[in-house]
Structure 1
Amino acid sequence: MMLRIGTGALQAELLPYGAALHQLWLGGHQVVAGLPDMAAYHAGRGYHGAVVGPVANRIRGAEAMIGDQLWRFEPNEGTTLLHGGEPGLHARDWAIADQGPEHATFALDLGHCEGGFPGQRRIEARYRVAEMTLRLDLVARTDRPTLMNLSSHVYWNLTGRGNLDGHRLRVAADQFVPVDARLCPAGAPVAVTGEMDLREGRPLDGGPRYDHNFCLSDSRSALRPVAWLSAPDAPEMELATTEPGLQVYDGGASMFGIALEPQCWPDAPNQPGYPSILLAPEDGPLVQVTEWRFTLPDGA
């Protein structure tokens, strides 16, 4: 089942499977690199358009301390836990909790230790279209301390041509997290230099380079623009988020789309000084907000 929201120039098609953004249209422009059908979503492991978690990105050694207890998880990338593992949010059928012409809310209830993490948890993905903006609120609650770091794993391709030729990405980050051979953090953030310096914008058609977290701030903050994606004769996209990090992943060797994943920094429980991803009941609901704001090309 697919849901379509939006009645104007911007329209989104959503899937309960993974609470995923399957497609986004701006007039005649198709800007999301979705999969062709549901069979491809069930068979794939590219996280196309899905909400990922409960802990997005990587946990080194598939283990972490929560309070005074060490929790071990089932690794799914060598010895590493990636995006919550095989039973992660991307591979779940979410319930449709609310739906209207311009909005849809998906909800998922997870039992204590379901997926390996503690707590009875409720997670909601609230999509809304307003003029030329798509907004996603990710809301999470728990009845005991747990780890929570959600993200949206959409692959963007503004031209719809099957590759990223002509695309240019700008990210307002002075630092990024260096990684080791397992793509886990190799220490404290370092200053952006060379091709890792995206502050003035860089082309994306030079081969695979990016699977890195760019550090936007030391903690969650008010909603603010952090990244800009453009291509000739295509819509421009501005990404705004409340999150302290942005994982940039260029899709690997095929480079069919660019994933821009707002989230906290990777492997946070095992990295002193990183923004915390601990969520306790007394914290109230965790709310992560992302907006994708679009401008059509001249003459469109």
Structure 2
Amino acid sequence: METVALKKENWGTHEGQEVFLYTLTNALGSELQITNYGGIMVSFKTADREGNFADVLLGKDSLADYLKDNGCYLSVIAGRYANRICKGQLSVEGKDYQLAINNGENFLHGGAKGFDQKVWDVTEEADQSITISRVSPDGEENFPGAVTVSVQFTLTNENEIVLEYKATTDKTTVINFTSHPYFNLKGEGNIEDHELTLNCKYFTPIDETCIPTGEIISVKGTPFDFTSPKLIGKEIDADYEQNRIGVGYDHNLVIDKPLGEYGLIGEAYEPASGRFLQAYTTEPGVQLYTGNWLEGDMGKNQTPHIKRQGFCMEAQHYPDSPNNPHFPSTELKPGETYTQKTVYKFSAK
């Protein structure tokens, strides 16, 4: 099958800006849909071992549905700071900043109106890739510095979804970007029967408000040990304080590779379909989230999601890094360029 040219359709408007839906298709017939609203990956259709295609990404039917409610952050680009910051408080170069409190008593995924709720500019279109960008002005969500960020999405003929980020700032600031796709390699049902392996020997435990305690502890002897293949559901409801707090898995794990280097996050396998997912990144951590709060959220075909219908491997820096100096730094200074490469590679066996 030859490469199909990029398909672009008008998907509506938001705050006077045009929103488009892009469809990328590769030589294997896989199809990735992306919108420039929130940098959302709307769907990804790929084959199982028998050659049958299914959509393995959770999402919604229309722009109107995403605008109505995307509190689960389905497949968005989260920023300017992904994940949580304790009580929304941080200090940059000796100056204190108070961010939005939008997750219990803490800040989460960019604040009251993060990158997931913005219409991005589309700066490049090609057969199998698009690039979106935006300038986050100084003071947006009370962060210092005007940050210019771009994300390129590519669907390769090797069945990889490649995300490449770049960012610069005019003042010292903190940034942490992630893509938040929920995967279900069956395309339906819950994900507890997926087999997961993570290249992670350590994780960062959390307190009752889901903020890291600052510890970095071994996964050995805990339900967080995915160093060899294990069903996601095997220990998800274990009698273990961290699982109780997270209502399953909602934790940052430390990827076992040198800081800043590109390497394996982990692998997921769904035995019934044979679909196999390998994830790679330059980031130091991965947030494993098992869709513990999805129940009732409206999905595609106007069908409510069920609890644990999708799992996330969000490549990122550790949560609350600005308040934990021993965590890898999320600081970005003028003259520096932030880069990230994260890849989700699909096959069947």
- Normalised by the length of structure 1, the TM-score is 0.95
Counterpart position of 2:284: 244
Pairwise CA distance, 1:166: 2.0
**Deviation per residue, 1:144-201 (Å, 9 max, x gap):** 1011110010000000113114211111111000001100011211110321101112
- Give distance in 2, aligned partners of 1:135 and 1:60: 31
The answer as to 2:274 corresponding to 1:224 is no
Counterpart position of 1:142: 169
Counterpart position of 1:277: 330
Counterpart position of 2:64: 39
Give the partner amino acid of 1:140: A
Give the partner amino acid of 2:216: P
Give the partner amino acid of 1:257: G
Counterpart position of 2:347: 295
Pick one of 245, 251, 254 that aligns with 1:215: 254
Q: 1:91-240 maps to which residues of 2 (within 5 A)?
A: 91-131=117-157, 132-192=159-219, 193-205=221-233, 206=236, 208-217=247-256, 220-232=259-271, 233-240=273-280
Pairwise CA distance, 1:5: 1.2
**Deviation per residue, 1:19-47 (Å, 9 max, x gap):** 11111111413211122222221122111
Pairwise CA distance, 1:219: 6.3
Instruction: Kindly name which structure, 1 or 2, has the bigger radius of gyration based on alpha carbons.
Output: 2
- Give distance in 1, aligned partners of 2:132 and 2:347: 27
- Give distance in 2, aligned partners of 1:201 and 1:186: 27
Unpaired runs of at least 5, structure 2: 1-19, 48-52, 238-246, 294-306
Question: Which moved further from structure 2: 239-248 or 155-164?
Answer: 155-164
**2:79/2:176 contact within 8 Å kept:** yes
The percent of aligned pairs where both chains have the same amino acid is: 26
Give the partner amino acid of 1:77: N
**2:199/2:256 contact within 8 Å kept:** no
**1:6/1:103 contact within 8 Å kept:** no
**2:257/2:263 contact within 8 Å kept:** no
Report the RMSD for the aligned CA atoms in angstroms. Answer: 1.5
Counterpart position of 1:88: 114
Q: What SS does the aligned partner of 1:122 have?
A: strand
**2:169/2:335 contact within 8 Å kept:** no
**1:218/1:275 contact within 8 Å kept:** no
Give the partner amino acid of 1:5: L
Q: What SS does the aligned partner of 2:314 have?
A: strand
- Give distance in 2, aligned partners of 1:25 and 1:259: 17
Unpaired runs of at least 5, structure 1: none
Question: Which moved further from structure 2: 70-79 or 200-209?
Answer: 200-209
- Give distance in 1, aligned partners of 2:258 and 2:248: 26
Counterpart position of 1:22: 42
Give the partner amino acid of 1:58: R
Q: What SS does the aligned partner of 2:43 have?
A: strand
- Give distance in 2, aligned partners of 1:49 and 1:16: 12
Counterpart position of 1:5: 24
Pairwise CA distance, 1:68: 1.1
Pairwise CA distance, 1:11: 2.1
